[in-house]
Amino acid sequence: MRIDKYLWCVRYFKTRNMATIACKKGHVKVNGATVKPSREVYATDKLEVRKEQVTRRLTVLDIPKSRVGAKLVDMYRVDTTPKENYEHLELLKHAKEHYRKQGTGRPTKKDRREIDEYLDDTFDGEETNA
């Protein structure tokens, strides 16, 4: 089965087109090598899929005949992603929500000055430590 179709079948991507685009961008690796969307996948292959700033690792157990239900996905793959990767994703979500809520518009002048001041302090501190 093609890698893009496999990733769609085991529900890593919502559409097959999204899986194809991820392969073309180099976000999918099979056994450590970046692959094209037409690459065949076999049992025991090790996959790395970069999605939402997290690299997910999985091992192929079997090839499904068609897209499977969410409850049956574990029959076809084993997720070996380290917990640190998921913790990183949670931190990113909290960091985005901490400063500004979504939909509040552009930063005000005061917000912009605080951002600039913070960035200046951060970069000045890094130069002195080096």
Q: How many CB atoms lie within 10 A of CB 57?
A: 15
Choice between 93 and 44, residue whose per-residue pLDDT is larger: 44
Closest to 26 in 3D by CA, of 50, 61, 60:
50
Q: What is the pTM assigned to this prediction? A: 0.69
User: In Å, what is the CA distance from 39 to each residue of 5, 57, 72, 109?
Assistant: 10, 17, 24, 51
User: Which pLDDT band, with edges at 50, 70 and 90, does 101 fall under?
Assistant: low
User: Which pLDDT band, with edges at 50, 70 and 90, does 90 fall under?
Assistant: confident
- The amino acid that residue 18 corresponds to is M
Q: Residue 18: is its pLDDT beyond 90? A: yes
Mean pLDDT of the 33-47 span: 93
User: In Å, what is the CA distance from 18 to each residue of 7, 41, 127?
Assistant: 10, 18, 41
Q: Residue 129: is its pLDDT beyond 60? A: no
* Close Cβ partners of 37 (under 8 Å, ≥ 6 residues apart): 2, 3, 4, 19, 20, 23, 24
Tell whether domain 3-81 is in CATH 3.10.290.10: yes
Closest to 34 in 3D by CA, of 3, 78, 7:
3
Mean pLDDT of the 92-111 span: 73
| Whole-number Å distance between alpha carbons of 43 and 45 | 6
Choice between 88 and 130, residue whose per-residue pLDDT is larger: 88
Q: What is the mean pLDDT of the chain?
A: 85
Write down the domain spans for the chain: 3-81, 100-129
pLDDT, residue 92, reads 77
User: Which pLDDT band, with edges at 50, 70 and 90, does 130 fall under?
Assistant: very low
